[in-house]
Amino acid sequence: MRTIDEQGYHFEEWLTPAQIHVDVQQVAKQISTDYQGKEPLFVIVLNGAFVFAADLMRCLEGVRCEQTFIRVSSYWGMSSTGQLEFIVPLQQVVDQRDVVIVEDIVDTGLTIHQLKAYMRAHGASSVRVATMLFKPNKLEYDDAKPDYVGHEISDEFVIGYGLDFDGFVRNLDAIYKVKE
């Protein structure tokens, strides 16, 4: 088993590139089935989702589609509704589009909760979520439960395949779990 030491923490390989490929294909198959005859807009959430999205998009079959990228901050403002702050704003019109948000991981679901509300407010016909990883035990927003999941994980910190540790190690070809 491969291991990585990063910033004083020890990580062990959890999902190999081959296992990730199986997960990505399974997600792509579901999306390909569900979006036959539609022209979805994939909204890819930077930075983490770029690796998963690149693989996922190339595994889709028979789906005419577009991709666009956004980046949002973890600052949510002081209002009770919370204010979504775009660092890279949405370039595409989502009005009357079938939107699929692509994430690396859904944790508390706050990001997805906010993004879904934003897409709906801007007239999206439908909004679904595809994520490589999902931490169901951590979910705090019911509407953020992802529609397409590569792999579920309990409350453990993971890196690689787009997931970072303070900006680094996104480029690892496998997903590694921290070991205490």
Distances (CA, A) of 45 to 1, 12, 19: 30, 26, 23
Least spacing, CB of residue 178 vs ligand IMP, in Å: 8
48 binds ligand IMP, rule: CB under 6 A = yes
Tokens 């409350």 locate to 155
Selected binder of ligand IMP within 70, 163, 169, 175 (CB under 6 A) = 163
The three-point CA angle 50-54-58 to 5° equals: 165
Q: Minimum CB separation from ligand IMP for residue 7, in Å?
A: 13
Q: Which span sits near ligand IMP by CB under 6 A: 12-20, 54-62, 77-85, 155-163?
A: 155-163
Catalytic residue among 23, 98, 104, 107: 107
Interface with ligand IMP includes 65 (CB under 6 A)? no
Positions of E strands within 16-125? 41-46, 66-72, 86-88, 98-106
Residue 35 or 118: the one with the smaller Cβ distance to ligand IMP is 118
Which amino acid, residue 17?
P
> If binding is defined by CB under 6 A, does position 111 make contact with ligand IMP?
yes
CA distances from 64 to 13, 41, 61 (A): 35, 9, 9
Which residues form the interface with ligand IMP (CB under 6 A)?
A: 48, 103-111, 157-158, 163
